[in-house]
Structure 1
Amino acid sequence: SVEEAVFAYQAGRMHLQTVVSVLMNGAVVRTTAGRIIFNSVLPESQQFLNEIVDKKELKKIIADCLDASGSEKAVELLDNVKDLAIEYITKSGMSWGMDDLVVPEKKAELIADADKLVEQVQEHYNMGLLTDDERRAKVIEIWTKTKNEVTAVCQAALDKNSPAYAMINSGARGSWGQTTQMMGMKGLVINPSGETIELPVKANFKEGFEVLEFFISTHGARKGLTDTALRTANAGYLTRRLVDVAQDIVIVSNDCGTDEGFTITKKDSADMGETVSNRLLGRVLAKDVVNSKGKVLVSAGMLVTKKEAELVESSDVEEATIRSVLTCALDRGICKACYGFDLATNSMVKMGSAVGIIAAQSIGEPGTQLTMRTFHTGGVAGADITQGLPRVEELFEARPLKKSAIISDVDGDIVEIVEENKQQVINVSHLANVAEEYTVKKSDKVAVADEEKVRKGQVLYENADGEVKARIKGTVKVLKNKITLFGEEEKIRAFPVPAGYSIWVKKGDHIVAGMQLTEGSLDLYELLALRGVEAVNKYIIHEIQYIYSSQGQKLNDKHIEVIIRQMFARFKVLDPKGTDLVIGDVVSRSTLKDANMAAKEKGNEKAATEPVLLGITKSSLSVDSFLSAASFQETAKILIDAAVSGKVDQLRGLKENVIIGKLIPVGTGFATHHPELAALENPTSAEEVAAE
């Protein structure tokens, strides 16, 4: 029985890990005393866990307990697991020594094979069959492959019962990368400028390095330390800018009532390494989720809980449209329905939650992880991720790129890809709008009517020289002395491709405006002009998720959405119409809404505007509150401008209130708890906003 197994262990008759057969619920189960003791602290609702419990599994157990039994039981479980772990880790006296790491016998053979392959590549180079760049790339490829093979051999060579294996495999400490460097080979390292040195370090730390190996390893070791010192500051500064741009985004309403949403597709999700159901969890649906047969799985307006997410997971759903922070209709703050779950409690977000600051911290904190990871891998090539953080910064600051991908600005078909002056050119055939003008004399006989549709070759008018025919089909505009023919004509648009870029399209492909033709990052401003705001939103989310997930960092979409909302929080006035705005002005969402409301009350038309994309620094400096902007950067300039133009700060955000020593308008200081804080500005209280 279970009790007998535990008693036998306590009496010293068997080990914690001795395999025993135990009668459990009428069935014989092969397990160990250790697993029985571990299961004794789990909630009764949990099934008997007869498997290795590592970090990942432990997370799952706690999440299941939270779902099934609530937070009190989960806290109890955490306490019990912690006590149990500390007790047994103390008893085990677990430690490891260098003898636990055995250098695999097969290592020498693998390195000898790689040396032969490198010799062959060198011979091919000497014969003139390879360029220097190709030779270098092939050598690096050979050693990268060998390092991976050595890693696999090391994993197999390590005793499954050794403390070192337990530490790595459980996820408690260390990684296979570090273990391989100690018992296999260090592999390729990088020089200070970030290029891979083609000479590998064949030795491991246990065997000791040769002089040259030691010397080239110092690059990586120093790079690890300097990177940590320098890049931590960068990540901290990025967090500060993110906090600044998003600080006044607070939950101020139950539902803004919008019917717009953000579409999640299976393809995009797979690129980010996520499933559609995972991205739907904790969000409110803007449209029904239907499967391939047209059956409604989850209705619009519903909050997607674990149950609904599992239903979506098990069906063939290609896409779903969710309510999103990006499309929330409120001019200040956002509503509960557009935000969804508070990820700290896995329940609907509460009124007055400072979701902007949470978003900034959720992006910034793993950003510091992105940076510091270099330190742990000692500058080994392939593991260095200093590229990650600057790319995140480049996206959030919406910087124009020095080297961006080629994007098509026309719809058409690729006729050919040719090489001109050592540069490849993509030629696209497309229909372009043209207007042809014909001057008509009084004596000429016009054969078409105004606004008439004409075909190619149709007679337009007759003059002394004979008939004049339409060169293209289209519509004519007839004036007293002029005929204008508006139509479409096939033209060739050439896209020159910079050297070194790989082309993503081929002859015969049909392309649309905004489509990427070559490798490289997209220019956000170009993408906005060609495909609009939604395409830019999707691209930023996709790129940032890719950077974080490739480093094993989980980041929820809604945090990125909050920041993007602030990047698009300004609008350029194209035509003021019935408002008192000025053409060319860049105004905030709330200023625009107020101006449009005032115009509507007078029976006038709304202003025609277009969204403006601003980087987070510019967005922070262009906020309505001068106190908030001045406390961020360029203090003197902002205060002088505010004084000269007699600005009034409504103290709506968090920073402004901290500066003057008032309660901040979030959490317990939010107007729903303190009606006296309703002086924050109209519409202040959540009730009023909800009523709107």
Structure 2
Amino acid sequence: MVALDGGRYATSDLNDLYRRVINRNNRLKKLLELKAPDVIVINEKRMLQEAVDALIDNAARPASKQTVGGKRALRSLADILKGKQGRFRQNLLGKRVDYSGRSVIVVGPHLRLDECGLPKKMALELFRPFVIREVLKRELAHNIRNASRLIDEASPEIWAILEEIIADKKVLLNRAPTLHRLNIQAFKPRLIEDLCIQIPPFVCTAFNADFDGDQMAVHVPLSEEAQAEANDIMLSSRNLLKPASGESVAKPDKDVVLGCYYLTLLNLGAKGAGKIFATTGEARLAYNNNFIDISAPIMIGIFGKGGFETSAGRIIFNEILPGDFGFVNETQTKKSLSRLVNRLIERYGQEGTKDVLDAIKELGYRYASTSGISWGMDDIPELKEKAGLIEEARTKIGEVWGHYTNGLLTVKERRKRIVEIWENTADKVGEAASRTLPSGNSINIIFSSGSRGSSHQLQQMVGMKGVVINTKGEPIELAVTSSLKEGHTVLEYFTTAHGARKVLADTALGTAKAGYLTRRLIDVSQSVVVKEEDCKTKNGISIYRDGGGIVNYSFARHLSSRTALENIKIGRKTIVKTGEIIDRAAAEEIEKSSLNEVKVRSPITCKTLYGICSKCYGLDLGRNEPVQVGEAVGVIAAQSIGEPGTQLVLRTKHAGGIAVAMDITKGLPRVEEVFEARSPKNMATLSEYEGRIAKIEDRGLLRTIGIDTVVRGKKKLVEYQIPRSTTVRVSEGDKVEVGQVLTEGNVDLQELFRLKGKEETYRYIINEVEKIYASEGVLLSMKHLEVIVRQMFSHVRIMESGDTDLVVGDIVGKSRFIEVNQAVKADGGLQAKEGEILLGIGQSALHAEGWLAAASFQETARVLIRSAVEGRVDRLIGLKENVIIGRLLPIGPVFRGETLVVEIPREEETTVAEAPRENAAG
């Protein structure tokens, strides 16, 4: 109880619940003493039971909920534990921390990649204990109180001390929402006078930050070990690669791209075009003395052999690249700069690339300013062809309406045709707009360099906005023919508002759905850690040249970073030996060859118990080196799949509500359907028998597929009935196998698993999810999906218990099952037998080995009750269990035994039975 102002008290709901139990218990005691009639005693016992039930879990019986004042349900013991505000998630898994601050972020163009600007006032507060220690050490004050007063006065000595203290310190910056590990990075703080936090431009992509009012939190790692980890693992210059795909995440963007594009562009009409120089140094001298323009095409070394055409700007650009890198002689766009950074990281590593990135940034900013490129409304050209194109479209639409009024078209067909006409017209207008832009026009330079915008936006600015969507995501027949420059009519503005509002609503709702999927993925895979170097397995999976319908599928990208299961030969030459990692060069060589299938190690087939091995995982994509023992690959996999999830939420890809058609069954809901192993909405029919298609015929509203097969030695015609509207994938006379898809639609995973087994099922899951991500242009390594699929297959159902303590019908983890069987086998007993099962990620997380992790995920009360009844022991294998009880996580340096962990000796425990009599009595 807490006393409030005005003489009132705030009290815990538990007091109320306990009071009811005590009152009813006392009343029952009195009634029994008075020998009251049975009816009254039974009623009192029922009420007592209800009071006890309500104390334990008030939500379990909705009919007899205990309320306060007849309105709010009282918060029982179970309610205190469960849910987002419960003890597990609110207090044990996430805590508020000291030595932290937050502020608005602004760009710091002068900062190096691993620096951040920290407001002096904030830094002084964050590092206060360190400053106090130094003040006392220098005897500027004689006790902590005086030292604090000195700090509050902010005297010059204090600032000098602060500068010294932060010289070798790192701070962590975090931008919410923290979707993947790159959302928290370490930086060297630089004291600034402002009140904003400054961050270097190239980390914006990793943080997904922009400068329109975003805020960031700062945290100080206090211990020496924490500082060492911040420096060695979390420093921004050591996190240039995306763990999801291995692509560079510290890429030049916006004005840096514009500056580099301007610098490396060739202009035939520029001063000094066509001049010849013996060396690049000579050309640089000519530019410095104003004999040639920066973009004039010039020839270098024409008299010797390797003469080439270049420009002074390109020579300047190459001066910042490493000497042995070779001469980069092309106009730099966003894509080419991104490729350049990837090549630099591959060749010189992350440490060797950071200085080049800083140099590219400086150069880009300088020449973006020098170029003087800017644009206004007058730079947008007039579009004379537009009126004719729109008139033509209206004539065609008039014809469509004529066909419709004559009854030749349905409403659906009319809509489809009208929308198609408007979309084609918008494309033509867009093409015309692009043609009218002069080559030297500012807008053209901005688009061509890839620094900002696209021709699609130009189409809307100068041409027409085009077809917009309504709140259901369907295209509206009435297209917006005005451009943004001309301005919209009232009706057009109203029509556009539909799509714009839908995008905002969808984004808000979708973010929550994507977050929930990420949470389930984290929970199912959080215990997957690299436990050993090599599990010595002889099994693996095959990667095929054929992408199976995946957009922009790359055989080389799928092979790179994997461990070869067997020697990979092209002709007679062995390119990669068994157990070696396939690097990018070898992968590209394989892609150019005629090999259609390569066998590699995979997390799915790894034999390591309670984790996976380094060989089966391959390269750590975020570091571009073999994965270390102790790496939490499960969490990385979940983050890599969950982080781009928000992009998959919207059913249509839009630019401000512009309609671009996309299959509705795709996107995040489909990813969720696959990972949860649910029965899909439009389910495909699978053949349960091997045979030949005998007939496909329509009967009323149904379509019948007949298969001639042999069942138990007898010929039999098996028939499948499907809706007539369903597309059939087979023809009469075709041979069919068990588990073959007969109709269009999504496959039920449980049925596929039953008919075709584990290998076909995991291949289907990976292919389906990858297809969805690839269609959105998201690069995602297959190994992350394999880690999740491993967890979906990580449980077995006990069929026979043998001499083990396992119960028939129970679902147990595969690792525990193997462990128990090994122990029984060693004792010469009878081993248990299992049946493989496929669980969705939610169910797999609830059946996790550690009950603490399962309880903190979902169904808290049920998990705790079941664990208590079974007397389960949590061996603290996963990460969540260790966070809950406040131990260092068994990953990274701790797992490898590199960190000095000081164990506090505990006093020997004595049970009540062993204790001396006086203690037991007392």
Same fold, TM-score > 0.5, yes or no: yes
| Cα distance, 1:404–1:68 mapped onto 2, change above 3 Å | same
After TM superposition, give the deviation of residue 135 of structure 1 in Å. 2.9
CA offset digits 1:476-527 (Å, max 9, x no partner): xxxxxxxxxxx231x2222223243322222222221222222222111111
Residue 262 of structure 1 and its aligned partner are, at CA, apart by 1.1
Deviation larger for 600-609 or 220-229: 600-609
Distance 1:160 1:613, change over 3 A: farther
Q: Which residue among 694, 698, 708 is the counterpart of 1:419?
A: 698
Could you say if the C-alpha distance between residues 488 and 289 of structure 1 is closer, same or farther in structure 2, counting changes exceeding 3 Å?
A: farther
Report how far residue 622 of structure 1 moved. 1.3
Rounded to whole Å, the distance in 1 between the matches of 2:389 and 2:477 is: 17
8 A contact 1:414–1:506 mirrored in 2: yes
Contact 2:650/2:667 (8 A) holds in 1: no
Q: 2:635 aligns with which of 328, 345, 357?
A: 357
Change over 3 Å in CA distance of 1:370–1:33 after alignment to 2: farther
Assess, with a 3 A threshold, how the Cα gap between structure 1 residues 372 and 270 changes in structure 2: closer, same or farther: closer
- Tell me which amino acid in the other structure corresponds to 1:488: K
1:162 corresponds, among 441, 446, 462, to 441
Contact 1:118 1:139 in 2 (8 A): yes
Task: State whether structure 2 residue 572 is matched by structure 1 residue 347.
Answer: no
Tell me, yes or no, if the aligned pair for 1:272 and 1:545 is still in contact at 8 Å: no
Give distance in 2, aligned partners of 1:35 and 1:674: 48
Deviation sequence 1:67-110 (CA, Å, 0-9, x none):
33333321221111111112222333432222333354333333
The DSSP-based 3-state class of the residue aligned with 2:647 is helix
Q: Kindly provide the CA deviation profile for residues 538-573 of structure 1, in whole angstroms up to 9, marking residues without a partner as x.
A: 112111111111111111101111111111111112
SS of the residue aligned with 2:546? Answer: helix
Q: What is aligned with 1:594?
A: 819
Q: Distance in 2 between matches of 1:629 and 1:128?
A: 61
Q: 1:281 to 1:499 in 2, by over 3 A?
A: same
Q: Are residues 1:653 and 2:653 paired?
A: no
For residue 600 of structure 2, what is the aligned residue in structure 1?
322
Cα displacement (A) at 1:227: 1.5
Match of 1:368 in 2: 646
* Distance verdict in 2 for CA 1:553–1:219, change over 3 Å: same
Q: Does the C-alpha gap of structure 1 residues 378 and 53 become closer, same or farther in structure 2, counting only changes over 3 Å?
A: same
Which residue pairs with 2:866 in the alignment? 641
Ranges in structure 2 where 5+ consecutive residues have no aligned partner: 1-276, 905-922
Query: Mind listing any 5+ residue stretches in structure 1 that lack a counterpart?
Result: 434-486, 680-692
| SS of the residue 1:50 aligns to | coil
User: Aligned partners of 1:22, 1:335: CA distance in 2, in Å?
Assistant: 53
Q: Does the 8 A contact of 1:627 with 1:649 survive in 2? A: yes
* Residue 204 to residue 427, structure 1, CA distance change in 2 (3 Å): farther
When residues 375 and 309 of structure 1 are mapped into structure 2, their CA distance, relative to the original with a 3 A threshold, is closer
1:195–1:353 distance in 2 versus 1, CA, 3 Å:
same
After superposition, residues 89-128 of structure 1 pair within 5 angstroms as 89-128=368-407
Inter-partner Cα distance in structure 1 for 2:299 and 2:572? 51
Q: Which residue of 2 aligns with 1:304?
A: 582
Match of 1:686 in 2: none
Residue in structure 1 matched with residue 473 of structure 2 by the alignment = 194
Residue 243 of structure 1 contacts residue 357 of structure 1 at CA under 8 Å; is this kept in 2?
Answer: yes
Partner-residue secondary structure (3-state), 2:857: coil
Matches of 1:78 and 1:97 in 2, distance apart? Answer: 31
- Aligned-residue offset at 1:271: 2.9
Residues 319 and 142 from structure 1, CA distance in 2 versus in 1: closer, same or farther, beyond 3 angstroms?
Answer: farther
C-alpha distance in structure 2 between counterparts of 1:394 and 1:246, whole Å: 18
Which residue in 2 is equivalent to 1:568?
793
Give 1:113 shift. 3.4
Alpha-carbon spacing, 1:650–1:217, altered in 2? closer, same or farther (3 Å): same
Inter-CA distance 382–572: structure 2 relative to 1 (3 Å threshold): same
Q: For residue 408 of structure 1, what is the amino acid of its counterpart?
A: S
Is it true that 1:554 corresponds to 2:779 in the alignment?
Answer: yes
1:201, CA displacement in angstroms?
2.0
Q: CA deviation at 1:258?
A: 0.9
1:21 aligns with 2:303: no
Q: 1:400 aligns with which of 674, 679, 693?
A: 679
**Residues in 2 aligned to 1:200 and 1:168: alpha-carbon distance in whole angstroms:** 26
Q: Which residue of 2 aligns with 1:493?
A: 718
Q: Which amino acid aligns with 2:784?
A: H
| Whole-angstrom CA distance in 1 between matches of 2:416 and 2:350 | 54
Are the structure 2 counterparts of residues 26 and 289 from structure 1 closer, same or farther at C-alpha, using a change threshold of 3 Å? closer
Distance in 1 of aligned mates of 2:595 and 2:673? 34
In the aligned structure 2, how far is the partner of 1:373 from the partner of 1:14?
A: 53
Aligned counterpart, 2:889: 664
Residues 374 and 626 from structure 1, CA distance in 2 versus in 1: closer, same or farther, beyond 3 angstroms? Answer: same
C-alpha distance 121-54 of structure 1, shift in aligned 2 (>3 A): same
The whole-number CA distance in structure 2 between the counterparts of 1:412 and 1:107 is 60
User: 1:576-601 deviations in whole A, cap 9, x for unaligned?
Assistant: 34544222111101221122212322
Q: What pairs up with 1:621-636 in 2 under 5 angstroms?
A: 621-636=846-861
What amino acid maps onto 1:331 in structure 2?
Answer: L
Q: Tell me how far 1:375 sits from its aligned partner.
A: 9.0
Aligned residue identity for 2:674: L
2:798 is aligned with 1:519: no
TM-score (norm 2): 0.64
Q: Deviations over 1:14-62 (max 9, x none)?
A: 4432333333775443322222211111122223222222222222222
Identify which of 758, 763, 785 aligns with 1:533.
Answer: 758
Q: Secondary structure at the match of 2:498?
A: helix
Q: Distance in 2 between matches of 1:574 and 1:200?
A: 63
The amino acid across from 2:542 in the alignment is T
Distance 1:408 1:149 in 2: 47
Alpha carbons 2:688, 2:755 under 8 Å: kept: yes
CA contact (8 A) 1:280 1:304 kept: yes
Deviation of 1:311 after TM superposition, in Å, equals 1.9
Q: Report the equivalent of 2:283.
A: 5
Alpha-carbon distance between aligned partners in 2 of 1:334 and 1:592, rounded to the nearest angstrom: 16
Task: Give the CA RMSD over aligned residues.
Answer: 2.6
Distance 1:518 1:290 in 2: 39
**C-alpha distance in 1 between matches for 2:573 and 2:850:** 49
**Corresponding residue number in structure 1 for 2:656:** 378
Please state how far the C-alpha of 1:172 moved relative to its aligned partner: 2.5
Match of 1:46 in 2: 325
Kindly state the Cα deviation for residue 674 of structure 1 after the two structures are TM-superposed: 5.2
When structure 1 is superposed on structure 2, of 109-118 and 422-431 the one drifting more is 109-118
Residue 669 of structure 1 contacts residue 677 of structure 1 at CA under 8 Å; is this kept in 2? no
- TM-score, with normalisation over the residues of structure 1? 0.84
Q: Could you say which residue in structure 2 is the equivalent of 1:447? A: none
- CA distance in 2 between counterparts of 1:88 and 1:159 reads 21
- Does the C-alpha gap of structure 1 residues 616 and 200 become closer, same or farther in structure 2, counting only changes over 3 Å? same
Mapping of residues 449-488 of structure 1, within 5 Å: 487-488=713-714
Partner of 2:265: none
Choose from 561, 578, 582 the match for 2:807. 582
Matches within 5 A, 1:262-273: 262-268=541-547, 271-273=550-552
Q: Which amino acid aligns with 1:344?
A: G
Cα displacement (A) at 1:529: 1.3
- Cα deviations by residue, 1:224-263 (Å, 9 ceiling, x for unpaired): 1111222112222222221111111111111111111111
Distance in 2 separating the partners of 1:505 and 1:415 = 11
Tell me whether 670-679 or 112-121 shows the greater mean CA deviation. Answer: 670-679
Shift in alpha-carbon separation, 1:496–1:375, aligned structure 2, 3 A: closer
Within the candidate set 388, 395, 398, 2:667 is matched to 388
Deviations 1:365-389 (A, max 9, x none): 1112334897961121116798512
Name the SS for the 1:416 alignment partner: strand
Residue from 333, 336, 339 that aligns with 2:611:
333
Check conservation: 2:652, 2:660, Cα contact below 8 A. Answer: no
Paired residue secondary structure (1:70): helix
How far apart, CA to CA, are the structure 2 residues paired with 1:121 and 1:602? 83
SS of residue paired to 1:428:
strand
SS in 2 for 1:583: coil
Name the count of aligned residue pairs.
624
